[in-house]
């Protein structure tokens, strides 16, 4: 289909009957939206993660009751309530059984299986809501096409297979009468076991399906009218950005801007698919277009804040004139699957930052085994809980005087590490601690307000 759009709605956009209704209107308002990817109702994944981590009998019952209520509040507005309630009860029963298993011992595979119920339930009710408003919709189990590896809790998609499966099983269902409604975040391995793409992974699902079907646009509908210059809850003067390049958006997502999942851009970039980000409650407010080449390319576009970074400083007495030290260090990080963010070096030491973690179970600590392996050939010092502010823009390292403004604004804060020069698109400050709100406001005022 020409101009096909794939629309993704986040948890708050499907969190209750009114939110679902707004999202419904967005879908039917665009004749090109034929496939809809949704998250679990807001709050549901967190509750399921709590169960998956193992909790008491009383807590299990309390959480099941909350889950029942969230879905029941939607069901009461719909037809065929008996059938819908049975469906939800079926899931709740299974969730409870799995939560009991998790009480004894838990693992990432069980966690994925437990959290997957969230998207399965929300998508089922969303189909019923479409029917309630007289629009034909079909429920589709995304796991039949979203093939991943078996790294439960942060599974990697197998794009070639997703493409074949999507053409085989999903494409034939697309027509101009029925809306296909499916789940974000979840997938399955070749054995048919349920996996997840990591927290917030529904955007990624939409982009992966968009790539597989070579759609014209991907729309990410959330609770904010686009991507802001920085978090508006922290900086009052933050304003929406009309357009962004892929590179800028990827830098923003990577450095903690919550609007797009960091991996979302990758499939879109491979196929040059523009991504729209807007608010499902206020679609009339417009939003942000993320495109290969936007018209404006200002030096400073946005600020992103990522808290809780870990800094590892490795020093070797023999680094002077020695070769291979960095290679050894990096290979150890690779072996333990730790993705390195910032790097800075001196004659005898290297400083590296890592993010505390984005897996579904939320547990992604720096392994002691890895630190021990590093200790065999260098001195290791770990600092935790550091905030990182990334300034995102264009050609920052090319023109004289551009970054002076940033240094002036950050002047009164203690900066632990600076990264500049690897990309023309960012300048990063790792702060010691202290007031990140103040630092973010100071930078925003200096760089992004007239
Ligand atoms: N429901 C999942 C989460 O809360 C995935 C998503 O919302 O994108 O992380
Ligand atoms: Mg979400």
Distance between CA atoms of residues 6 and 4, nearest Å: 7
Give, to the nearest 10 degrees, the angle between helix 368-375 and helix 325-335: 160
Beta bridge partners of 312: 352, 382
pLDDT given for residue 364 in this prediction: 55
Distance between CA atoms of residues 58 and 54, nearest Å: 12
The response to whether residue 187 sits with its C-beta less than 6 Å from ligand 1 reads no
The b/e string for 78-111 (b: 16+ C-beta within 10 A; e otherwise) is beeeeebeebbeebbeebeebbeebbeebebebb
pLDDT given for residue 359 in this prediction: 52
Q: Which residues contact 447 (CB under 8 A, 6 or more apart)?
A: 300, 303, 391, 405, 406, 409
Quick check: 250 and 204 in contact, CB under 8 A?
A: no
The response to whether residue 184 sits with its C-beta less than 6 Å from ligand 1 reads yes
Cα of 300 from ligand 1 centre, angstroms = 30
Q: Residue 71 in 3-state DSSP?
A: helix
pLDDT given for residue 357 in this prediction: 56
Cα of 301 from ligand 2 centre, angstroms = 25
The response to whether residue 39 sits with its C-beta less than 6 Å from ligand 1 reads yes
Of 372, 327, 378, 391, which Cα lies nearest the Cα of 349?
378
The response to whether residue 201 sits with its C-beta less than 6 Å from ligand 1 reads yes
pLDDT given for residue 198 in this prediction: 95
The response to whether residue 200 sits with its C-beta less than 6 Å from ligand 1 reads yes
Cα of 10 from ligand 2 centre, angstroms = 5
DSSP label of 240: B
Distance between CA atoms of residues 61 and 5, nearest Å: 40
Quick check: 153 and 108 in contact, CB under 8 A?
A: yes
Cα of 42 from ligand 1 centre, angstroms = 8
Distance between CA atoms of residues 200 and 267, nearest Å: 16
Measured from the alpha carbon of residue 358, the closest ligand is 1
Q: Which residues contact 426 (CB under 8 A, 6 or more apart)?
A: 251, 255, 390, 391, 392, 393, 396, 419
The response to whether residue 199 sits with its C-beta less than 6 Å from ligand 1 reads yes
Beta bridge partners of 243: 289
The response to whether residue 439 sits with its C-beta less than 6 Å from ligand 1 reads no
Cα of 200 from ligand 1 centre, angstroms = 4
The response to whether residue 157 sits with its C-beta less than 6 Å from ligand 1 reads no
Residues with C-beta atoms within 5 A of ion ligand 2 = 10-11, 39
Is this structure's pTM higher than 0.85? no
Atom of ligand 1 nearest to the CA of 197: 5
**How many CB atoms are located within 10 Å of the residue 381 CB?**
11
DSSP string, 267-295: HHHHHT--EEEEESS-GGG-EEEEESS-S
Atom of ligand 1 nearest to the CA of 10: 7
- Each residue's pLDDT, cut to its tens digit, for the chain (450 residues) gives 689 999 999 999 999 999 999 999 999 999 999 999 999 999 999 999 999 999 999 999 999 999 999 999 999 999 999 999 999 999 999 999 999 999 999 999 999 999 999 999 999 999 999 999 999 999 999 999 999 999 999 999 999 999 999 999 999 999 999 999 999 999 999 999 999 999 999 999 999 999 999 999 999 999 989 999 999 889 999 999 999 999 899 888 888 777 677 788 899 999 999 999 999 999 999 999 999 989 999 999 999 998 889 999 999 877 556 678 889 999 999 999 888 999 999 888 999 999 865 556 555 578 889 999 999 999 999 998 899 999 999 988 777 888 899 999 999 899 999 998 888 899 999 999 778 999 999 999 999 998
**How many CB atoms are located within 10 Å of the residue 135 CB?**
15
Of 289, 262, 264, 265, which Cα lies nearest the Cα of 276?
289
Cα of 332 from ligand 2 centre, angstroms = 33
Cα of 102 from ligand 2 centre, angstroms = 23
């Amino acid at each position: 289909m020409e101009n096909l759009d794939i629309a993704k709605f986040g948890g708050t956009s499907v969190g209750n009957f009114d939110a679902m209704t707004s999202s419904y209107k967005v879908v039917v308002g665009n004749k090109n939206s034929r496939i809809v990817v949704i998250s679990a109702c807001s709050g549901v994944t967190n509750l399921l993660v709590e169960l998956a981590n193992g909790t008491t009998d009383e807590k299990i019952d309390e959480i099941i009751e909350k889950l029942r209520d969230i879905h029941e509040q939607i069901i009461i507005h719909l037809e065929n309530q008996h059938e819908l309630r049975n469906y939800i009860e079926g899931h709740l029963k299974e969730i409870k059984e799995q939560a009991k298993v998790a009480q004894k011992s838990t693992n990432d595979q069980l966690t994925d299986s437990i959290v997957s119920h969230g998207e399965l339930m929300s998508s089922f009710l969303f189909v019923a809501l479409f029917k309630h408003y007289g629009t034909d919709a079909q429920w589709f189990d995304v796991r039949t096409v979203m093939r991943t590896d078996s790294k439960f809790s942060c599974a990697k998609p197998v794009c070639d297979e997703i493409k074949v499966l999507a053409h085989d099983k999903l494409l034939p269902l697309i027509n101009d009468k029925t809306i296909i409604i499916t789940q974000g975040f979840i997938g399955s391995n070749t054995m048919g076991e349920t996996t997840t793409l990591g927290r917030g992974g529904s955007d990624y699902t939409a982009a992966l399906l968009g790539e597989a079907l070579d759609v014209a646009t991907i729309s990410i509908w959330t609770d904010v009218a686009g991507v802001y210059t920085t978090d508006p809850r922290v900086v009052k003067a933050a304003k929406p950005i009309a357009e962004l390049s892929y590179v800028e958006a990827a830098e923003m997502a990577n450095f903690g801007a919550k609007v797009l999942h960091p991996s979302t851009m990758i499939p879109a970039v491979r196929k040059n698919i523009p991504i729209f980000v807007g608010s499902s409650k206020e679609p009339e407010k417009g939003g942000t277009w993320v495109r290969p080449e936007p018209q404006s390319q200002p030096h400073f576009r946005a600020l992103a804040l990522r808290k809780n970074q870990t800094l590892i400083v490795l020093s070797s007495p023999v680094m002077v004139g020695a070769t291979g030290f960095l290679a050894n260090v990096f290979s150890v990080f690779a072996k333990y699957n730790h993705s390195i963010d910032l790097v800075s070096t001196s004659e005898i030491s290297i400083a590296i930052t890592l993010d505390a973690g984005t897996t579904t179970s939320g547990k992604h600590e720096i392994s002691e085994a890895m630190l021990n392996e590093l200790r065999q050939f260098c001195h290791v010092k770990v600092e935790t809980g550091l905030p990182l502010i990334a300034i995102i823009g264009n050609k920052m390292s090319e023109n004289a005087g551009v970054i002076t403004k940033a240094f002036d604004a950050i002047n009164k804060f203690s900066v632990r590490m600076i990264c500049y020069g690897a990309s023309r698109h960012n300048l990063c400050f790792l702060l010691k601690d202290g007031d990140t709100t103040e630092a973010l406001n100071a930078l925003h005022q200096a760089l992004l307000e007239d």
